[in-house]
Amino acid sequence: MTDVMIGLGSNVGDRLLNLRTAVEGLRTVLRMVKVSHVYETTPVGVTDQPPFLNAAVRGVTSVGPQRLFFWAKSLESGAGRRPGPRLGPRQLDLDIIAFGDLEVATPRLRIPHVAYAERGFVLAPLADLAPDLSLPGASAPVRVLAARVGQAGVERVNPSDSLLAWR
């Protein structure tokens, strides 16, 4: 079994339901260990779009990284995501942030996920789950990276309206 971290995001439709559906769908290939708090975040890159809800899931899996990647893409598609502009609006976005100590660099899949260490919307949920984790190639643990990036544009959602039921 391999420890994995997956980032979740949604800014189209019922954002919270999209995240909850993703967590449920990930249970097919992961044994859940933890689900982070939910954060509302301002968009990065393409800023003329609705705010995102972001969270992270940490679990263990017996499937390989490619199979996990294709499962994540099928969940995105099932939520209604279609090809569109990079960093544009989406019903669901799932990114494999870490897959054990593995590093992967293919045209379709990068693990650890590229640019995770520069994005507060990724680091805040990761810090909920594994603040002392150092991902492969990282210059510091998640909590230190999160402190460097800061919390501008990242606000924790009211705990009563979150994914805590799956924690």
165 inside domain: no
- 63-81 per-position pLDDT tens digit: 999 999 999 999 998 988 7
Q: Rounded to two decimals, what is the model's pTM?
A: 0.90
- Is 95 annotated in the active site? yes
22 inside domain: yes
54 inside domain: yes
Owner of token pair 């609006």: 89
How distant, in Å, are the alpha carbons of 8, 17, 103, 111, 163 from that of 21? Answer: 11, 6, 28, 23, 10
166 inside domain: no
CATH of the domain at 138: 3.30.70.560
7 inside domain: yes
- 89-144 per-position pLDDT tens digit: 899 999 999 999 999 999 989 998 878 888 999 999 999 999 999 988 888 999 99
- Is 128 annotated in the active site? no
Split into its structural domains, the chain has a count of 1
Which residue in the list 15, 20, 58, 95 is annotated as catalytic? 95
Tokens encoding 97: 């942030």
- Is 90 annotated in the active site? yes
Give the domain extent around 49: 2-160
Which residue in the list 15, 93, 119, 128 is annotated as catalytic? 93
How distant, in Å, are the alpha carbons of 65, 92, 105 from that of 110? Answer: 10, 18, 5
167 inside domain: no
Q: How confident is the model at residue 161 (pLDDT cuts 50, 70, 90)?
A: low
Structural contact between residues 111 and 102, judged by C-beta atoms closer than 8 angstroms:
yes
136 inside domain: yes
Q: Which residues, other chains included, contact 68 with Cβ-Cβ below 8 Å and sequence gap of 6+?
A: 4, 29, 61, 96, 99
Which residue in the list 20, 81, 119, 128 is annotated as catalytic? 81
- Is 86 annotated in the active site? no
22 alpha carbon, distance to own chain's centre: 10
